[in-house]
Amino acid sequence: MKITGIESFVLRIPTPKPISLEFPEHRLVVASIQTDEGLTGLGYSLAFGGGGAEAIQVYLETRLAPLLVGEDPLFVERLWERMFRFDRGIKRQGVAAYALSALDIGLWDIVGKAAGLPLYKLWGAASDRIPAYGSGGWPRYTLADLIGEAERYASMGCRYYKLKIHDPDPRVNRQRVEAVREALGEGVRLMVDANQKLDVVGAIRQARLLEDLDLVWYEEPVLADDIAACAEVARSVRIPVATGENNYTRFEFRELIERGAARYLMPDVCRANGFSETLRIGRLAAAHQVAVSPHVVHELSLHVAGALANGFLVEFIDWTPPDLFVEMPRCEDGHFRIPDRPGHGMALAPGAERTYRVG
């Protein structure tokens, strides 16, 4: 089998309320990989809030896609190494990592289709039913928006909900957490996300105001670039730290593990150089008894969580319109059943490209 062509494009997708209060749109950088045997692989990376999507698409189209045309798509490891090592002067983070991720995801889609297996089974399944946590609670939400969103996820059976703690006053953040906890009751556990907004002193101060609330985790308390700072926070607070959505390679995650910077690692398959590197990260974490809870794109992340014995939760942000994909996995009783369709099982709906394509 040979790759005969790769088409890439950007989709601009408006978000529903209340997410639109914070992010009016997201963008997908899509890669469609064609082969001479009729199999097509779909890969995409989610540019949250739309940032950088066009740059990702240009890098994918001009630098990485030409490396794959004419090659056997089943040699995923070899092709991943070729892409990862090609531009030695450009670190495989940010734009480059998003672009590589989309192509790696598309290659694995072809492998699964060729084998007639869903990816989580191809990789050695640990589970076919993955628990999810509802995620949102952005700072532009009113208290009514926040509680309404949390209750909606709880109505789907989610027993976990994550909200943002972005207010400069740590007491205000505590009040919002307490309001959600009171609304949801004891049956739903909460996690909080600082999204890198704090320094070490501020992160420790905030955590100490929340430590009695039995939170599952305290996410991205400081800049993701500063692993030493994250480790200092983790040593100083009683809430387990989670991080990783803005880390890109197994080498960064190795340092997070070795420094004891987190008990939950959160690689994003669209940022962490695709399925290939995310699986390496997950297995590295398993060697250290660290849990993996992939970041967003749950429809893809399910396969990673289902293949790993140390997979924990997938992040469920319910934002995709019904005319974007043929069939999104459904959250039932707080869990997702991983689709048994070959590959990753996702396909753009008829007309989605025409409706949402940029340019």
164 is catalytic: yes
Record the tokens describing residue 316, joined without a space.
């469920």
Q: Read off the pLDDT of residues 115-132 as tens digits, 9 standing for 90 and up.
A: 999 999 999 999 999 999
Q: Read off the pLDDT of residues 130-170 as tens digits, 9 standing for 90 and up.
A: 999 999 999 999 999 999 999 999 999 999 999 999 999 99
Q: Tell me what pLDDT residue 36 has.
A: 98
- Percent helix / strand / coil, the chain, rounded to 5: 40, 20, 40
* pLDDT for residue 359 is more than 90: no
* pLDDT for residue 355 is more than 90: yes
Q: Read off the pLDDT of residues 179-197 as tens digits, 9 standing for 90 and up.
A: 999 999 999 999 999 999 9
Q: Read off the pLDDT of residues 26-67 as tens digits, 9 standing for 90 and up.
A: 999 999 999 999 999 999 999 999 999 999 999 999 999 999
Q: Tell me what pLDDT residue 103 has.
A: 99
Spell out the residues 6+ positions from residue 145 whose beta carbon is closer than 8 angstroms to its own. 17, 18, 21
Q: Read off the pLDDT of residues 290-307 as tens digits, 9 standing for 90 and up.
A: 999 999 999 999 999 999
Record the tokens describing residue 72, joined without a space.
């056997």
Record the tokens describing residue 307, joined without a space.
């293949």
Record the tokens describing residue 357, joined without a space.
């394509």
Closest to 296 in 3D by CA, of 49, 108, 67:
49
Mean pLDDT of the chain: 98
Rounded to two decimals, what is the model's pTM? 0.97
295 is catalytic: yes
Q: Please give the average per-residue pLDDT across 245-251, as a whole number.
A: 98
Record the tokens describing residue 87, joined without a space.
């531009």
Q: Read off the pLDDT of residues 69-92 as tens digits, 9 standing for 90 and up.
A: 999 999 999 999 999 999 989 998
**Which is the catalytic residue, given 26, 113, 162, 164?**
164
CB atoms within 10 A of CB 10: 20
336: left (phi over 0), alpha (psi -120 to 50) or beta: beta
Reported confidence tier of residue 102, pLDDT bands at 50, 70, 90:
very high
Q: Please give the average per-residue pLDDT across 344-355, as a whole number.
A: 98
**Which is the catalytic residue, given 26, 113, 166, 295?**
295
- Answer yes or no: are the C-beta atoms of 244 and 263 closer than 8 Å: no
C-alpha to C-alpha distance for 33 and 68, rounded to whole angstroms? 9
Q: Please give the average per-residue pLDDT across 220-228, as a whole number.
A: 98
Q: Read off the pLDDT of residues 104-115 as tens digits, 9 standing for 90 and up.
A: 999 999 999 999
